Amino acid sequence: DAGVIQSPRHEVTEMGQEVTLRCKPISGHDYLFWYRQTMMRGLELLIYFNNNVPIDDSGMPEDRFSAKMPNASFSTLKIQPSEPRDSAVYFCASSLAGGGGETQYFGPGTRLLVL
């Protein structure tokens, strides 16, 4: 299995531009999570989906952030407009429901720098 795939791996953009991050979960997994990692705040959940439906988006910082999961094998996280404080590593993770203690498998992350 290829694991969770994220693209791009690195993104440098200017303030005000739209940024789209992409994730392909492990085939067959029914949960998908977006996390953000910064030095100041550590690892924090942004949003997660179950069977393509958003379940908890309480971690999404503000309206500039949006996430979609149009099908079981693809999800996007969009920032519009981007700001320097959005600079972080964004991780996608997926898991297969199995009674609650299921393991989340993480992708390699997208390192975003907003200038």
Partner 1 sequence: AQSVAQPEDQVNVAEGNPLTVKCTYSVSGNPYLFWYVQYPNRGLQFLLKYITGDNLVKGSYGFEAEFNKSQTSFHLKKPSALVSDSALYFCAVRGDTGRRALTFGSGTRLQVQP
Which residues contact partner 1 by CB under 8 A?
4, 31, 33, 42-45, 48, 50, 55-56, 59, 91, 93, 95, 99-101, 103-109, 111
Smallest separation, CB 97 to partner 1 (Å)? 8
Smallest separation, CB 65 to partner 1 (Å)? 16
* 4 versus 88: smaller Cβ distance to partner 1: 4
CA distance 78 to 62: 12
* 59 versus 81: smaller Cβ distance to partner 1: 59
Smallest separation, CB 29 to partner 1 (Å)? 12
* 38 versus 80: smaller Cβ distance to partner 1: 38
